Amino acid sequence: MSYNLNYKSNGFFLTYKGFITINEINASNGLMHGHEEFDSHKFQIINLLEADFSLINKSRSREPAATDLVASRFSSKVKVALVVREVNAVNFCEQYIKESISGGSPWDFKIFSELEDALQWSCT
């Protein structure tokens, strides 16, 4: 498992490291959606700074976008901060955001290159 999920202060902190697969993204997403605090959470910080997306095609971003769209019906006021620098991961995240918005997600999305900036935006 190349991810770690924590809940603290009304938000989820999801960190990926090393080579990751779409199955791991979907599994971690399911774990978050099934968490007892999911319906009341306010933000998600997805730390991808140490993740390698070379095994994932950006077109696969439809899967987590669709899953999150369904989940947004239960928790509609959520900020999703994606912390990323690596080109493949940025492309995946941009496509995920496009898919989410075009599907009608009410969540706010933003990409950051620094974790501190993501924390500041998420907690305001």
May I ask the CATH class of domain 3-122?
Answer: alpha beta
User: 8, exposed or middle or buried, with CB in 10 Å at 0-12, 13-18, 19+?
Assistant: exposed
Spatial CA neighbour of 42 closest among 87, 92, 108: 108
What's the mean pLDDT in 7-25?
95
What's the mean pLDDT in 18-34?
95
pLDDT, tens only, 40-98: 999 999 999 999 999 998 899 999 999 999 999 888 899 999 999 999 999 999 999 99
What's the mean pLDDT in 103-120?
97
Domain boundaries, the chain: 3-122
